[in-house]
Amino acid sequence: MVKLANNPTSLTKGWSGIIEAYRPYLPVNETTPVVTLLEGNTPLIPVPQIAAQIGRQVQVYVKYDGLNPTGSFKDRGMTMAISKAKEAGAQAVICASTGNTSAAAAAYARRCGMRALVIIPDGYVALGKLAQALLYGAEVIAIDGNFDEALTVVKQLAENYPITLVNSLNPYRLEGQKTAAFEVVDILGDAPDWLCVPVGNAGNISAYWMGFCQYHQVGKCQKLPKMMGFQAAGSAPLIAGHPISSPNTVATAIRIGNPANWDKAIATQESSQGEFNAVTDAEILEAYQLLASREGIFCEPASAASVAGLLKCRDQVPSGSTVVCVLTGNGLKDPDAAIKYSDNSVKAGIAPNLEVVADLVGF
């Protein structure tokens, strides 16, 4: 009988999670307890139908980070934040969340026996994310307020009590998330010309930029991408230039009016000669449907903002360039949105009869 080790890394074909894969680039040492669900190593998938809409021999890929263990890019940051919290002896972590951070925090914290406290805006967290947080065993508090108000409360709690904050203000989160940039370069052999990212708190766009810059410094890539950040039009403080007090969008994951990483976002945009642009809910939903029905890729609405943004800015894409759009979360996170916004529907109430069914499908 084959004896399987307790360490899950020995059960995978060489992939041990982002901390082991990129250890020299991360602030960990041999005594850091690695709390991992083998996150990372997500596919970079060509999307030819979307590329065809741009033309000019542009290569377009999506970095499908919805295939992480809890279904979003947050796992990259959370393996770092929770490992470092464990190393420091923390017994409880806390976050404010539009859903994905809470799912990831809950999974990683519970895996190493910590309490996971999560504060969410009541009524604005997609069903799948809430289901995850509950089943992973988080202590979930829904406030009558938006994400920005939830973040204010958790910052105060973390300042006053022995609880570690694991929102993207925690620097280890961005350290973990930068590994997505490493993976993109490891596959493409260089950085892309454009990187399109949905932006809420602006942690992820800042983390990608850190990753590309770090790889550039050590000669792993020759160029640096233009960082293109996209916010939902109803929640676009970085485009407005000031916080939005009542943000709104169908893309609840990025329904954020006062990004926690505002200064980093501006620095990223300036040093990469990138741009922030707004995409409307209609544009987001069009890209969401296009990705699923033409490319076979099911992401959540917020993630589709990166593709919506690329399509909106298509005339600016230089001929012959390589573009990566980040798909931050899995479509299964938000089944309500999928059903509500699909222009497809179930033909129901049909008799279980050959002729009837054959006729319905046009034979």
Binding segment for ligand F0G among 38-46, 199-207, 317-325, 352-360 (CB under 6 A)? Answer: 199-207
Of 323-352, which residues contact ligand F0G (CB under 6 A)? 328-329
Q: Is 42 in the site for ligand F0G (CB under 6 A)?
A: no
Q: Which is nearer to ligand F0G, 58 or 199 (CB)?
A: 199
198 is a contact residue toward ligand F0G (CB under 6 A): yes
Binding flag, residue 300, ligand F0G (CB under 6 A): yes
- Residue 323's SS3 state is strand
> Which residue matches tokens 């990372």?
40
Contact flag: residue 168 with ligand F0G (CB under 6 A): yes
**CB 30 within 8 Å of CB 4:** no
204 belongs to the binding site for ligand F0G (CB under 6 A)? yes
> Which of left, alpha, beta for 216 (phi over 0: left; psi -120 to 50: alpha)?
alpha
Pairing of strands 322-327, 59-64: parallel
Can residue 237 be called a binding residue for ligand F0G (CB under 6 A)? Answer: no
Tokens read off for 33: 């307890």
Q: How far is the CB of 9 from ligand F0G (least distance, A)?
A: 27
Sign of CA dihedral 188, 325, 320, 318: negative
Which one of 83, 179, 201, 268 is in contact with ligand F0G (CB under 6 A)? 201
Q: What is the DSSP letter of 330?
A: B
Dist CA 220 CA 210 (whole Å): 13
Considering only 21-29, 51-59, 200-208, 266-274, which stretch makes contact with ligand F0G by CB under 6 A?
200-208
Identity of the residue, 204 or 322, whose beta carbon is nearer to ligand F0G in the bound complex: 204
128 binding ligand F0G? (CB under 6 A): no
Q: Which one of 83, 97, 170, 249 is in contact with ligand F0G (CB under 6 A)? A: 97
CB of 191 to ligand F0G, least distance (A): 19
Residue 4 CA, distance from chain mean position? 32
In 3D space, the residue among 260, 338, 336 whose CA is nearest the CA of residue 101 turns out to be: 260
- Specify the residue, 58 or 182, whose C-beta has the smaller distance to ligand F0G: 182
* Binding status of residue 303 toward ligand F0G by CB under 6 A: yes
Backbone angles phi, psi at 223, to 5 degrees: -125, 170
Binding residue (CB under 6 A) for ligand F0G from 101, 132, 146, 170:
101
Q: Does 175 engage in binding with ligand F0G (CB under 6 A)?
A: no
Q: Does 77 bind ligand F0G (CB under 6 A)?
A: no
How far apart CA 247 and CA 101 sit, in angstroms, is 19
* Secondary structure class of 161 (helix, strand, coil): coil
Closest alpha carbon to 144 in 120, 165, 128: 120
Least distance in angstroms from the C-beta of 85 to ligand F0G: 17
The CA distances from residue 226 to 229, 238, 260, 302, in Å, are 10, 17, 22, 20
Taking the least distance from each CB to ligand F0G, the nearer of 58 and 260 is 260
Task: Count Cα atoms within 13 angstroms, Cβ side, for 289.
Answer: 12
Contact call for residue 254 and ligand F0G (CB under 6 A): yes
Q: Contacting ligand F0G (CB under 6 A), which of 58, 60, 130, 202?
A: 202
Contacts with ligand F0G, residue ranges (CB under 6 A): 72, 74, 97-101, 168, 198-204, 253-254, 300, 302-303, 328-329
